[in-house]
Amino acid sequence: MRLATVCTLLLMLVVVSSAHAIDTAPAFEDPVLQGRYDRLVRELRCVACRNQSIADSNVKLAADLRGKVRDLIAKGHSDAEVLTFMSDRYGEYVLLKPPFTPHNWVLWVAPLLLLGIGAVVAGRFILAKARLPQESTIEDGQ
């Protein structure tokens, strides 16, 4: 019984020691600044990951980006300035919610356009099916 307990404790120690926090930097003393930081790192995409914010990524580049966001906030930059700095450096891909601009309008309009085309095709198919003559059934015994 004792050996099993010791082995269990050692196993738990190994598992716990391998777990680590993603953001190891100290929090801002000002809760408003910390709230801005938390929101901004959730709005920025890790450029090394697929659809993962830099808040959720443990990649070295994401840690560097979190550090840059922290530095920009500490220097007094606004949220818009931080997002502009990041998108100027890494492109609009770094924004998890990119703005509607003339060069990416297709990404915003395409789902609605495809849905409309699908509705038109489905409607025409249903109308064509409704216009077909119905087969008459012959009852048994006549």
Mark the ranges of the chain whose per-residue pLDDT is less than 50. Answer: 16-21
Say whether both 114 and 94 belong to one domain.
Answer: no
Say whether both 27 and 68 belong to one domain.
Answer: yes
pLDDT at 11: 60
pLDDT at 138: 62
pLDDT at 51: 83
pLDDT at 92: 86
**Quick check: is 28 in a domain?**
yes
DSSP 29: S
Say whether both 69 and 122 belong to one domain.
Answer: no
**Quick check: is 141 in a domain?**
no
pTM score of the predicted model: 0.60
**Quick check: is 93 in a domain?**
yes
Say whether both 85 and 74 belong to one domain.
Answer: yes
- 30-59 as b/e, with b when 16 or more CB fall inside 10 Å? eeeeeebbeebbebbbbbeeeeebbbebee
